[in-house]
Structure 1
Amino acid sequence: MSESLENFWENNKAKTAVVGMFLFGLFLLAFGVGTFALKDSGEDDAIKIISVEQGDPLNKIIVHVDGAVNKPGVYELTIDSRVNDLVAAAGGLTEDANTQAINLAAKLSDGQKAHIASINVNTASEAQLDTLPGVGPVTAGKIIASRPYSSVEELLSKKAVGRATFDKIKDLVTVY
């Protein structure tokens, strides 16, 4: 019997090697599939942790700013932005901005509109009024002496400013 086995081996070496390699390949395939199935079954598909990167759109907000800023418009900022960041993105405050009415530390939210108030002629100090074009200490004193105002146009009717100065400041001031 050993002679016939040796004879078989000598005549079929190539076929036996191919069959052996085929069986070894099947073993590797079965091992790989089994390992993958065991690894995947241990995870809960209902819970996924999502990492939010800095460049991710989920980490951005869109905010509209107008009023006393150099470049009013719509800006995309990071989700943790403050009014100060928005003002910086909008080119900073204009000279007529009512800085006392602005909370630069306030947190922004998506879809928010921020209005940066102009100088309120009813409450502005002489120094604030003096920053307006065409307004010096004398005109600032007249504006303060003629208070209160219910509309910006009352600056003309109460003769606190002349027409030329009014035309320069009418969009830079407010009353409230």
Structure 2
Amino acid sequence: MMERGLRGKVAALGAAVVLCAGGSLLGSSPQDTAAVVPVPAAGISAVQTRGVKVYVSGAVAKPGLYEIPAGSRATAAIAAAGGMTLEANPDKVNLAKLLKDGMQVNVPRLSARQLREQTAPVNAGAAAEAAGANTLVSVKTAAESGRGTAKAGGKVHLNTATAAELTALPGVGDITAQRILEYRAAHGFASIEDVMKVKGIGKAKFSKMQPYLEL
């Protein structure tokens, strides 16, 4: 009888130990058992920000070796070299090409024929501008001689002419030109002959001016 009682106590004690251990396991949270793994963020950042070295040559302002941020394209390298020159041929450059360390970005130059074709419109425009500036030809004349000329290849419009254009007319100086402008502002010119209403312009002077006047 005593042996049976002892076995019962041992069994009860074992059951109590098992129950306590199970409760301890159930009470613990995943956060208590999770392992913390450190991440080397500094190393990743260093790799991402590393630049690439490229050599830029050809028709650029400052050819040479440049360090460009990783992931950049050819256009960034050309910009770092001061951009393309006037003789560059941009059609021969792939500006979207992704840069790699140690590569060369070359900007080809235009051929001699292409350069002539490119500068021809510029030269033509400059010549036209110069011709326009020389359209009005003024000739200094003495009042008593009555000689003079208006603008070459054209006439002076009385209702729109400037003082400089008016002084190009035969026998018209600064004072007479100012009087013409004042009369025009007050009355306007309905006909070429109306210019004789301006003080200082008679029939003799008008006859010299008439071939160069228009409305």
Superposition TM-score, scaled by structure 2 size: 0.35
Structure whose residues are more often helix by fraction:
2
Higher relative contact order (CA 8 A, sep 6+): 1
**TM-score when normalising by structure 1:** 0.42
Larger-gyration structure (1/2): 2
